[in-house]
Amino acid sequence: MDDVYLDIANLGAIFDINDEAEALIDRIRSEIAEVTAVVEDVEEPVTVMVYDSGTDTLYTTGKALQTHLIELAGGVNVFADLDETWANVSWEEAVAKAPQVIVINDYGQVSAEEKIAFLKSNPALATIPAIAEERFVVMPLPSAFEGVRNPDAVRTLASGFYPELFQ
């Protein structure tokens, strides 16, 4: 998120609207802080896998902003240890990681509903707890990239991870 704040501050300087930029940064920090305050006492964070796309392999996120957003929302990305920001991994790796929640990146020609249907229809994936318990969080892909949508992403993720805390 520091990169997001720096970008906003730089845009404020470029367009000579520093006060507005600082107000936006403060608002984003405040909105995220509201969510992190709710999840900060969670003793055991949920394990999360991001399903962006793929049928032969899983296209997922590693060292990227989306992993940080998951952490702010009280979760742990099971593929956070990938060296790449985005990578293909085998379905066997996904099964072995046994995520409790799957984040579906919603964009493009394949809808979130179709992605979920694919995951649920594949018998090889049936032992993944998130699939067995139908714990999916749908997130618009633009929310996973730097910008003003990041607080909404953190709230969407956290309320999907811990619905009992956000009733």
Residue 27 lies in a domain: no
pLDDT digits (tens, 9 = 90+) for 35-88: 999 999 999 999 999 999 999 999 999 999 999 999 999 999 999 999 999 999
pTM above 0.75, yes or no: yes
Residue 78 lies in a domain: yes
- Answer for the pair 132, 123: CB distance below 8 angstroms, yes or no: no
Residue 59 lies in a domain: yes
- Answer for the pair 104, 137: CB distance below 8 angstroms, yes or no: yes
For residue 103, count other CB atoms closer than 10 A to its CB: 30
Residue 28 lies in a domain: no
Residue 37 lies in a domain: no
Total domains, the chain? 1
Residue 117 lies in a domain: yes
CATH code of the domain containing 111:
3.40.50.1980
CA 85 to CA 116: how far, in whole Å? 23
Residue 22 lies in a domain: no
